Amino acid sequence: MLTNPFSSMPSDSSGHSSWAVLLAGGDGTRLQSLTMKITGDCRPKQFCPIFGGKNLLTQTRERLAPLFCPDQMAFLVTRHHEEFYREDLQDVVDSRMIVQPRNRGTGVAIAAALFRILKLQDNPLVAFFPCDHYYSNEEAFVQTVAAAMDFAAGRPGEIVLIGAEATSPEVEYGWIEPGRVIQRSASIPLMHVRRFWEKPSWSKARDLMEQGCLWNTFVTIGYARTFLSLLRLQVPDAMPYIAAGMGRNNLDAVYRGVRPIDFSREVLAPLPGRLLLVRDAGSGWADLGNPGRVMDTLVRNRIEPAWLNEMRLIEQ
């Protein structure tokens, strides 16, 4: 059973607890060949019950429950996926639903979520969580996030990333090269960021692993206005469209006028001096980016979902 660190979670300047944004707006096209076999339709992976009988969005929401109040979880989704998330999110009020007209990348999604949250609360701490990840040790993940939130609360000008300890030379992951340790919470270190390495070659990934570099989980934490300052610095052409559209509460206008933005590549990677890094050494994190990685995760963790047995019977 998970321990509950909520009582020790940081508060922002107004005394309120922090916000979580669950990023569930992607199309998941690389996994559709598998999700089609599991569900019989073309739903994105975050709405698919790959493990444990519940879809990845619901599992993400339950995983974060020890850390965040339910009314301070926001959900970033895409309109044409509504049939897949409607039932799971029927209890969520409209103000906490950021419904994209279309997918414009992580940078636009994050900016839209930040502007929405700032209408509800003045400059809270915000943590962003993709909904297509697997953790073999959820308690370890919760403890790592709690430490990262605590670090971020005391460093309002910087963004804290969570990097997973690498176990193989992955070429489809982003990598983060850590700098020196500047603080510790129990055994969890906070480090500077030296550099990002985006989807390196196999030989480079092997070198990065041997050097102690970490996989970029994209779990990202900081104050809302700090995120916005980085966005305005790195993508100044896009932010006026987003700010104006969100000011009018018109997401259609936002997504018509703005170009796609990759948050990791365009905003974070060029600014390592504004970033800090927490090592996740115990959660067993995996990004379920393609069918091969899903099957590898199943084998490595000795998981046999019902759909896998059904597929084997069909193939016999």
pLDDT tens-digit profile of 107-145?
999 999 999 999 999 999 999 999 999 999 999 999 999
- In this structure, what CATH number is given to the domain that contains residue 66? 3.90.550.10
For residue range 169-221, what is the model confidence (pLDDT) as tens digits?
A: 999 999 999 999 999 987 899 999 999 998 899 999 999 999 999 999 999 99
The answer to whether the CB of 304 falls within 8 A of the CB of 188 is: no
Residue 16 confidence class, pLDDT cut points 50, 70, 90: very low
**Residue at 5 is within a domain:** no
Whether 160 has a pLDDT exceeding 60, the answer reads yes
| pTM (predicted TM-score) | 0.92
**Residue at 1 is within a domain:** no
**Residue at 9 is within a domain:** no
What is the share, in percent, of the chain residues with pLDDT greater than 90? 76
Residue 235 confidence class, pLDDT cut points 50, 70, 90: very high
Question: What's the confidence (pLDDT) of residue 151?
Answer: 97
For residue range 247-260, what is the model confidence (pLDDT) as tens digits?
A: 888 889 888 889 99
Q: What is the DSSP string of 262-287?
A: -IIIIIITT-GGGEEEEEE-SS--EE
Whether 53 has a pLDDT exceeding 80, the answer reads yes
Written as one letter, the residue type at 193 is V
**Residue at 113 is within a domain:** yes
Is residue 82 within a helix (H) or strand (E), and if so which, with residue range?
Answer: helix 82-85
Q: How far apart are CA 108 and CA 51, in angstroms?
A: 29
- Burial of 315 by CB count in 10 Å (0-12 exposed, 13-18 middle, 19+ buried)? exposed
**Residue at 7 is within a domain:** no
**Residue at 4 is within a domain:** no
Q: How many domains would you assign to the chain?
A: 1
**Residue at 201 is within a domain:** yes
Written as one letter, the residue type at 229 is S
**Residue at 279 is within a domain:** yes
Question: What's the confidence (pLDDT) of residue 14?
Answer: 38
Helix (H, G, I), strand (E, B) or coil at 212: coil
Residue-number span of the structural domain to which 147 is assigned: 16-315
The answer to whether the CB of 225 falls within 8 A of the CB of 232 is: no
